[in-house]
Amino acid sequence: MTSTAPSPAESLVVRGTPVQLVEVVKDYGTGSRALDAISLEIHPGEFVALLGPSGCGKTTALRAISGLETIDAGHVRIGGEDVEAVAVHRRDIGMVFQSYSLFPHMTVAQNVAFGLQMRKVSKAERVRRVQEALDLVGLGHLGERYAHQLSGGQQQRVALARALVTRPRVLLLDEPLSALDAKVRVQLRDEIRKIQQETGITAVFVTHDQEEALAVADRVAVMNAGSIEQIGTPEDLYLRPATEFVAAFVGLSNRLDGVLEHGRVNVAGQDLVALPSALQDGPVTAFVRPEDVLLGATGLPAIVISTSFLGAQRRTVVQLESGPALTVQHATSEHPQPGDLVRVAFTGRPVAVAARS
């Protein structure tokens, strides 16, 4: 009979804890509410991203969960318990910040051990758990280094280990990747997701980068001006945006004026299927994804304005003879040049529509 030691992730597994925001209001007195009665229910073990432009309230929402920001009305519940009156250090959360937050006067191991010391964990247990947490993020050999001796990516990994080592009820990530270069960003993004799945921890991830949010989250809450515009899976947001803001913010869209009639929308003389909406028939704005427009031998005549190479694909802007400009995403095998006369057609996939503003 053999026994195997648990892997670092297994030993850090936590029970997923539900998190709820109920009608949460935060008003800084600047004229508009930072959080305007937002409600959000995060299931145990779920990875939810709060996505939105700067100033939309996503970081305030995260800080309301952590307790770093007090709220003016509503409820914050962690594990079903109202925590508005619970101080930050008693909420049992783990947090990773945007800027490097490692304590400069402590080694990596001391940083990771800090939360355990606060919980009065015995020294032997502390040493073991610190090593496990560092192994989990692939930095088990760097325990004696100081923060200034690490790269940006390594520092954020240590911050992640430090946040996880206490086995918190919820992991809060406040734009943890935004200070990193593009390559490390993608690596760490995937690693955070992998660790979250392995440990089963409930995680809330704040970002303004839609690609980041869509890539890692189980669900994404798109925020705008203190409100949640839509909560859904990445596919929902991309394929079935509920509002004009979501359609415009998530992914790239061509905004075209059209007329909605009996579930179909007429755009530039073309009749397209509209995604289900509560809109009345009449003038609307249609959101057509660049990959839903084709360059080819048939279709609407247009002239190429510009084209750019994106690696796996090429993006070309064309001006239709009938007026509007369109962005087309197509294979790199096609090489349209500015000034070329081309024809464009729609794939026929349903398009999102919103009331024309």
Beta strand residue intervals within the chain, DSSP E: 19-26, 35-42, 47-51, 73-78, 81-82, 93-96, 170-174, 202-207, 219-224, 227-232, 254-261, 264-267, 270-273, 282-288, 293-296, 300-309, 313-320, 325-331, 341-346, 352-355
Q: Which residues pair with 21 in a beta bridge?
A: 40, 76
Closest Cα partner for 302 from 327, 288, 320? 320
Q: Which is nearer to other proteins, 69 or 244 (CB)?
A: 69
Structure-token match 């890692």, residue found = 216
List the x/- string, 94-133, binding to other proteins by CB under 8 A: xx-x-xxxxxxxxx------xx--xx--------------
Residue 122 Cβ, how far from other proteins at the closest point, in Å?
16
Among the listed ranges 47-55, 182-190, 272-280, 346-354, the one in contact with other proteins (CB under 8 A) is 182-190
Would you give the DSSP letter of residue 148? G
Question: By 3-state DSSP, what share of the chain in percent is helix, strand and coil, each rounded to 5?
Answer: 25, 35, 40
CA 210 to chain centre: 6
Shortest Å distance, C-beta 41 to other proteins: 22
Q: Which of 17, 20, 66, 270 binds other proteins (CB under 8 A)?
A: 66
Minimum CB separation from other proteins for residue 193, in Å? 8
Q: Name the burial class of residue 345, with classes exposed (0-12), middle (13-18) and buried (19+) by CB atoms within 10 angstroms of its CB.
A: middle
341 lies in the binding site for other proteins (CB under 8 A): no
Report how many residues bind other proteins under the rule CB under 8 A.
Answer: 49
Among 10, 43, 70, 89, binds other proteins (CB under 8 A): 89
* Closest distance to other proteins from the beta carbon of 31 (Å): 17
Beginning with the edge strand found earlier in the chain, give each strand of the sheet holding 35-42 in spatial order: 35-42, 19-26, 73-78, 81-82
Q: Is 166 in the site for other proteins (CB under 8 A)?
A: yes
> Using only C-alpha atoms, what is the Rg of the chain?
24
Site string (187-206) toward other proteins, x via CB under 8 A: xx-xx-xx------------
* Least distance between other proteins and beta carbon 241 (Å): 29
Joined tokens for residue 132 = 């496990």
Question: Is residue 163 a contact residue for other proteins (CB under 8 A)?
Answer: yes
d(Cα 223, Cα 230) in Å, to the nearest integer? 7
352 makes contact with other proteins (CB under 8 A): no
The DSSP result for 102-120, as a single string, is: --TTSBHHHHHHHHHHHTT
Shorter beta-carbon distance to other proteins: residue 114 or 249: 114
Question: In this structure, what DSSP letter does residue 310 have?
Answer: -
Between residues 109 and 274, which has the closer beta carbon with respect to other proteins? 109
By CB under 8 A, residue 334 contacts other proteins: no
In the complex, minimum distance from the CB of residue 315 to other proteins, in angstroms, rounded to a whole number: 24
| Strand partners for 13 | none
CA-wise closest residue to 177 among 204, 136, 208, 146: 208
Question: Could you say whether residue 87 binds other proteins (CB under 8 A)?
Answer: yes
Binds other proteins (CB under 8 A): choice among 145, 240, 264, 356: 145
Nearer to other proteins by C-beta: 36 or 198? Answer: 198
Q: Least distance (Å) from other proteins to the CB of residue 116?
A: 9
Q: Dig out the tokens for 86 from the structure.
A: 């619970």
Residue of 22, 186, 248, 305 that binds other proteins (CB under 8 A): 186
Q: Please identify, using beta-carbon distances, which residue of 36 and 191 lies nearer to other proteins.
A: 191
Binding site for other proteins (CB under 8 A): 66, 68, 87-90, 93-95, 97, 99-107, 114-115, 118-119, 137-139, 142, 145-146, 148-151, 153-154, 157, 159, 162-163, 166, 172, 184, 186-188, 190-191, 193-194
